[in-house]
C-alpha cells in the first residue's frame, strides 16, 4: 500500500478519527462537510499533529506517536493544493511556478506547463486569472516541487460547470500521464466516482 493512515485528533469541538490504506493511483476521501477530510489531509501533510496514530507513505514513516516520529512538513515530500489557489499576488505566473520548482527547470518545466495547458499564462498576474486557470497554476506549482505524492483539497470547489470539467481533465492527466499518487478530498459523489481509483468514506 502507498498510503497507510491511522490518526486521531480533536479539532475544535469535534473528534476526527480516520483509518485507511490505499494503493497508487487516486484515492478520494469522500464525505459531508465537517467529517474531518481536510483535517486528515493536514495531518498527512504535517500541518496538524495527530493526538495519536501512525502515517506511512510509500513505506516511509512520517508520523508515529508511539515511536515519537514526526517528520517536518518540508521533509515529507508532499505537494499540497489548497481549496484556494494561494498564488503570490506580487509575482507573475512564471515566478510563482519557478518558486515551486526550485532546481527543476528546462524540459521538466516546459513539459508540465504544456501538460497542464498553462504555457500561455506565464506572463499573467494571478489577479487576471479565472478560477480554473488559477487552480491549474496551483497544481503545477505543487508538482514542480517534485513531490512523492499530491494532496488535493476540494480542487473543484467554487468553480462553474465548465471550469470544473477543465480541472477534472487536468487531474486525470496528472493521474494517468504523470503517475503520481494522489489523495483528494471531495464531498461530490460524481467527482469521486469519475476520478477515484479508490474511495474512502468518512
40 within 8 A of 7, measured Cβ to Cβ: yes
Say how many C-beta atoms besides its own lie within 10 A of residue 10's C-beta.
11
Q: Could you read off the pLDDT of 164-196 as tens digits, one per residue?
A: 999 999 999 999 988 899 999 998 999 999 999
Q: Where are the domains of the chain?
A: 3-201
Mean per-residue pLDDT over the chain, rounded: 92
Q: Are strands 182-186 and 149-153 parallel, antiparallel or unpaired?
A: parallel
pLDDT of residue 73: 96
Percent of the chain exceeding pLDDT 70 equals: 97
Cell of residue 24, nine digits = 497508487
152 within 8 A of 117, measured Cβ to Cβ: no
Q: Could you read off the pLDDT of 90-132 as tens digits, one per residue?
A: 999 999 998 877 655 567 788 889 889 999 999 999 999 999 9
Mean pLDDT along residues 27-46: 93
Mean pLDDT along residues 149-162: 92
149 within 8 A of 5, measured Cβ to Cβ: no
CA distances from 75 to 85, 116, 146 (A): 22, 26, 12
Cell of residue 6, nine digits = 491511522
In this predicted structure, the answer to whether residue 16 has a pLDDT above a threshold of 70 is yes
Say which residue the cell 493521474 belongs to.
175
- Domain 3-201 sits in CATH at 3.40.50.300
Amino acid at each position: 500500500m502507498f498510503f497507510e493512515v491511522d490518526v486521531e485528533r480533536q479539532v475544535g469541538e469535534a473528534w476526527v478519527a480516520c483509518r485507511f490504506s490505499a494503493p497508487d493511483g487516486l484515492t478520494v476521501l469522500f464525505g459531508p462537510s465537517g467529517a474531518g477530510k481536510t483535517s486528515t489531509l493536514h495531518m498527512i501533510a504535517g500541518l496538524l499533529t495527530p493526538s495519536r496514530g501512525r502515517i506511512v507513505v510509500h513505506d516511509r514513516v512520517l508520523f508515529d506517536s508511539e515511536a515519537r516520529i514526526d517528520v517536518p512538513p518540508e521533509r515529507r515530500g508532499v505537494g499540497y493544493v489548497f481549496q484556494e489557489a494561494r498564488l503570490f499576488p506580487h509575482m507573475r505566473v512564471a515566478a510563482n511556478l519557478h518558486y515551486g520548482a526550485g532546481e527543476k527547470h528546462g524540459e521538466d518545466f516546459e513539459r508540465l506547463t504544456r501538460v497542464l495547458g498553462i504555457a500561455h499564462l506565464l506572463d499573467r498576474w494571478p489577479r487576471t486569472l479565472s478560477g480554473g486557470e488559477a487552480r491549474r497554476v496551483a497544481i503545477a506549482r505543487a508538482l514542480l516541487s517534485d513531490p512523492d505524492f499530491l494532496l488535493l483539497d476540494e480542487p473543484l470547489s467554487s468553480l462553474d460547470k465548465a471550469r470544473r470539467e477543465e480541472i477534472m481533465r487536468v487531474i486525470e492527466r496528472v493521474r494517468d500521464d504523470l503517475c503520481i499518487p494522489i489523495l483528494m478530498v471531495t464531498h461530490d459523489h460524481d467527482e469521486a466516482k469519475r476520478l477515484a481509483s479508490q474511495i474512502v468514506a468518512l
